[in-house]
Structure 1
Amino acid sequence: MNTENKAFTMSPFMTEWLAGGQPSNQLPISAVCNSHCLFCSNHLNPFPVAGGFFRDLEDIKLQLCAMGAHDDPIRMSDSLPGRISEGEALLHPRLFEILDLVRRKFFYNTLCFTTNASMLDAAFLKRLSVYRPIEINVSLHSTDPALWARIFGQDVRKAEIAISSLPLIRGHNMDLVGTIVPLPKICGWEDIERTYGYFSSQGARSMILYWPGHTKRTRPQVMADLECPLAEFTDFAERMKSAHRMLLIPHPDMISPLGVRVETIVAKTLKGNPKNRGAAYRRVVWLSSAAAFCRLESLVKEKTAEAPNLHQVFPVENGTYGGNIMAAGLLMVEDFIRTGKEVLEQWPDTELFLVPREPFDSLLRDLQGTPAHAIADDLGGPVWLVDPHGGIDPLVSPRLATRRGSAHALLRKVMQRFNRAQSEDEEMEAGLDLVACFPIKTTHGELDRAALREAMRAGRELMGAFSPSAQRFEMLDSEHALCIETWPIKNSARQLNRWTRLVRRESGWLIESMSEGLTEG
């Protein structure tokens, strides 16, 4: 008898679809590729990724049943970047069975494929066109067969098939989209421009340009082939926008205005600060991807010029991938923690960090599965994930920031002296000298020095020990702290909980107020 519970076994594709928030436009089916591109991201990840397999037909059925009906395009080549190898959907050995399944549920949705086009001969395209409407995004970085073969790591015969596929795609009434990774060191800008023009002449609806990416795992000999100054990439993109009447999407886009609703986010920082009695967070730090930093910094300055609190933007370098990776979606929790700690060294009074939502899935994990709340845990204070539309996800974090270090040692000494005064008459006056000013606010009202002295003596009859059974400290801000103690009660299961607020003065830490209450043990 098989006792395996299938509810706990899911394919990587299904796991990623669920973690991605069940996007209605994604149905990836392959983690297998037939090329060895110079810039391939599948071999440059600093952590293991799933790959080398096709999606099972039953698993595809399972997702199709879970997908709601809609009219949007369905992308069958896209996976969440970094966790599953990007593959060629058109290589799937049961491709046409899968398309039959998809069309049983989604009759009219455009089916989208991204491909190197090395298998798109006339016969294949004729059979594929039966399932129209279809959009084919062809990755083609040179129309020179020898250069194509060098870039893709395939033979020239495959290059000729890929280059010849563009007019065939349009001839079978399928939509064409083009993708180019400019490699000027290999092809030269003139060849790249000819390739762009070829897409335009064949009726491509839109173009995508990717700046050649490299990581700390890229081999030195490949690095030279991938060299492409960002300024030249941006200039080329702008020239192509002017020369051709096609939508162009460059990655990264260093020029277009950010669509971030900064004013909406700023308004939400003006309340809810536990260190400021629920009022504004007084110093707010935005952690930005390197790609968005300059534009976000300018936008935040503009939108917060008259704000009652201080906002600053800091760039986060991708230390996980290294190289020239600058997109927000590939940043890791450890990158935000590292930058946040650097900020706290410079601005220790930072009260709130704002982190972009893009790097995290629907479970708020980065690509390595590290939960976003680890940022708040390590930085010891409030962290919000913010999306471009102004939405926020406050991460679980201590309402009161805990900072361990020399401050706690000094606070502990002050409370030891004060508690000793409560049990020994000869220490009483030294303990009372630790009060910042009289009268002091307590649970029993405002007490002058004499009244507090009598209250401390009366407390001896109540306490079952000369020191608390538990004691911890919370830093409220750089000038205020809270001591939280639990005291045993004589001949009773009840306990006394005491909260002592301390303030930092030139002479050291002093006691500002006290409150206490009894609880059952």
Structure 2
Amino acid sequence: MQKAPIHMIYEAAMRYNILALTSRCATSCVFCSHHQNPPEVEAFFVSDLTMDEAKLAMDFLDGDKKIIIGESATRLCEGEPFIHENFIEILKLLREKYKTAPIQITTSGIYLDEEALKVLKSIGDIELNISLNSCSKKGREKLYKGRSLMEAVEAVKNIVSHGLSFNGSIVAMPHLVGEKDIEDTIRFLSQWGAETIRIFMPGYTRYSKIPNPPDDIYDRLKDIVDKMKYKIKTPLLFEPTILKNLTPEVEGIILGSPAHRAGFKGGEIIIKVGGKSVFSRADAYYSILSSENPAIEYAACGTIENMTLSKKSGERSGFIFSYDIDKDRVETIKGVIAKNSGKRIMVGVSKFGYNITKECLKNENVDIEVIENNYFGGNIGCSGLLVLEDVKRKLAEKEKNYDVVILPAIMFDSKGRDLTGKHYKYLEAECSINIHIIT
């Protein structure tokens, strides 16, 4: 793994609103994806930023959006932010610079002692994402290579009492810890006030060195989530999920939120916001988020209801949706299709995005094709880990000679290169196609 040049830190801030501070970590999770990359992958580690570097990186952030710390959403391998010796000082400077921006911190929780929680509360508008994974000593020892790191479990019990909010997550490994351990951890997170709980299916590549999940892991975990969501009050989500349609059904309601105070229970289908029909789950979510006191028309128990939700513009409503697709992205794809009318067009998607894309483009004369993650192998199925060789393989399988191929921007960096460093122009030349990248 290469050291990240400083311009990549600035690019992550500018492109994703991520402040990448360090790649160091203290947990050594057995499922860590950083150790499963093929050797050709361009992944980068972040040496602890100096204070001057951190200050400069802050200048590239958008203070009108949520600022994200500790989440690997780029080619930078993010670590545990609290391990950075100047992290609290950096947070204080960040709050001084962006006084109203929400700050989301993803952490293992092992450094959230009494003092840290008090400081976070004083900084204000901090949202913690706690990657707990197991609440039992035995389960954690299996996931953290013999160490229990129970400090995180104790920290979870104290977060809400310090006036902070948090979301919990579990990388679910039933073949290592058992299904009961996962269910107990879901109950534990709900008991101690998690606003939402996300269950992640463990991903593995052909380079994985740990016992791989069973072939039926998706169905097993979905069954656990479907069973447990009716036993707790906290919204419980499974990711990645294979959505079958664009129906904007509410997955759950955050307790104490505007939606909860208004009497929403979860299971409602949003029809209109502010008198305008909504296109998808994402459209419903962002329409409500951006509105002040939105008028909401919805279906519940077979009847159509109307409610004005008391909230400020930009304030979270408390509605929890699974993410599907943004309306603007669909319009961009349709625009490319219209400009290339009469040509043979392929839209490349991951297996998780196929149903949604097919529904969005059902009236368009295009081929929607699932591109398999052959390069990474294993059970990887997301578009963010596709490379151009995967696309090339799919094109070779098809009998058609396409003129235009539409691909998701998440496959590429800002220069148009995939995870192996190949530019999309290489595939255009080799296959005589025109590639359109959709953000």
**TM surpasses 0.5:** yes
Does 2:428 match 1:376?
A: yes
Deviation at 1:68, TM superposition (A): 4.3
Aligned to 2:357: 296
Unpaired segments ≥5 residues, structure 1:
1-10, 273-279, 305-309, 388-521
3-state DSSP of counterpart to 1:269: helix
Deviation at 1:90, TM superposition (A): 0.5
In the alignment, the residues of structure 1 paired with residue 88 and residue 336 of structure 2 have an alpha-carbon distance, to the nearest angstrom, of: 51
Q: Judging changes above 3 Å, is the alpha-carbon distance between structure 1 residues 17 and 243 closer, same or farther for their aligned structure 2 residues?
A: farther
Does 2:345 match 1:284?
A: yes
Output the amino acid matched with 1:51: F
Does the 8 Å CA contact 1:289/1:316 hold for their aligned counterparts?
A: yes
Matches within 5 A, 1:38-437: 38-46=30-38, 47=41, 49-51=43-45, 53-70=47-64, 72-81=65-74, 83-153=75-145, 155-156=147-148, 158-159=149-150, 161-219=151-209, 222-224=210-212, 229-255=217-243, 257=245, 258-259=324-325, 262=330, 265-266=333-334, 268-272=336-340, 280-297=341-358, 299-300=360-361, 302-304=362-364, 310-343=365-398, 346-348=399-401, 350-387=402-439
Q: Judging changes above 3 Å, is the alpha-carbon distance between structure 1 residues 91 and 21 closer, same or farther for their aligned structure 2 residues?
A: closer
Deviation at 1:320, TM superposition (A): 2.0
In the alignment, the residues of structure 2 paired with residue 247 and residue 25 of structure 1 have an alpha-carbon distance, to the nearest angstrom, of: 26
Deviation at 1:225, TM superposition (A): 5.7
- Report Cα offsets for 1:207-251 as digits up to 9, x if no partner: 2221101001112xx224676621222333333444444344432
Q: Judging changes above 3 Å, is the alpha-carbon distance between structure 1 residues 19 and 102 closer, same or farther for their aligned structure 2 residues?
A: closer
Q: Judging changes above 3 Å, is the alpha-carbon distance between structure 1 residues 291 and 143 closer, same or farther for their aligned structure 2 residues?
A: same
Moved more, 111-120 or 46-55: 46-55
Q: Judging changes above 3 Å, is the alpha-carbon distance between structure 1 residues 236 and 165 closer, same or farther for their aligned structure 2 residues?
A: same
- Report Cα offsets for 1:246-273 as digits up to 9, x if no partner: 344432121263426557634542444x
Q: Judging changes above 3 Å, is the alpha-carbon distance between structure 1 residues 281 and 260 closer, same or farther for their aligned structure 2 residues?
A: farther
In the alignment, the residues of structure 2 paired with residue 52 and residue 266 of structure 1 have an alpha-carbon distance, to the nearest angstrom, of: 38
Q: Judging changes above 3 Å, is the alpha-carbon distance between structure 1 residues 149 and 122 closer, same or farther for their aligned structure 2 residues?
A: farther
Does the 8 Å CA contact 2:197/2:235 hold for their aligned counterparts?
A: yes
In the alignment, the residues of structure 2 paired with residue 17 and residue 89 of structure 1 have an alpha-carbon distance, to the nearest angstrom, of: 14
3-state DSSP of counterpart to 1:286: strand
Unpaired segments ≥5 residues, structure 2:
246-323
In the alignment, the residues of structure 2 paired with residue 38 and residue 378 of structure 1 have an alpha-carbon distance, to the nearest angstrom, of: 39
- Report Cα offsets for 1:103-140 as digits up to 9, x if no partner: 22022333221111122232332344332222211111
Q: Judging changes above 3 Å, is the alpha-carbon distance between structure 1 residues 84 and 358 closer, same or farther for their aligned structure 2 residues?
A: closer
Q: Judging changes above 3 Å, is the alpha-carbon distance between structure 1 residues 63 and 226 closer, same or farther for their aligned structure 2 residues?
A: farther
3-state DSSP of counterpart to 2:348: strand
Deviation at 1:205, TM superposition (A): 1.2
Q: Judging changes above 3 Å, is the alpha-carbon distance between structure 1 residues 21 and 87 closer, same or farther for their aligned structure 2 residues?
A: closer
Output the amino acid matched with 1:230: Y
Does the 8 Å CA contact 1:281/1:351 hold for their aligned counterparts?
A: no
In the alignment, the residues of structure 1 paired with residue 98 and residue 405 of structure 2 have an alpha-carbon distance, to the nearest angstrom, of: 43
- Report Cα offsets for 1:316-340 as digits up to 9, x if no partner: 1112211111001111122112212
In the alignment, the residues of structure 1 paired with residue 13 and residue 95 of structure 2 have an alpha-carbon distance, to the nearest angstrom, of: 23
Moved more, 311-320 or 33-42: 311-320
State TM-score, norm by structure 1.
0.63
Q: Judging changes above 3 Å, is the alpha-carbon distance between structure 1 residues 184 and 45 closer, same or farther for their aligned structure 2 residues?
A: same
Please report the RMSD computed on the Cα atoms of aligned residues, expressed in angstroms: 2.5
Does 2:82 match 1:16?
A: no
In the alignment, the residues of structure 1 paired with residue 421 and residue 438 of structure 2 have an alpha-carbon distance, to the nearest angstrom, of: 19
3-state DSSP of counterpart to 1:281: coil
Larger Rg: 1
Output the amino acid matched with 1:340: L
Task: Pick 1 or 2: higher relative contact order, CA cutoff 8 A, min separation 6.
Answer: 2
Moved more, 251-260 or 135-144: 251-260
Q: Give the number of equivalent residue pairs.
A: 355
State TM-score, norm by structure 2.
0.74
Deviation at 1:298, TM superposition (A): 5.2
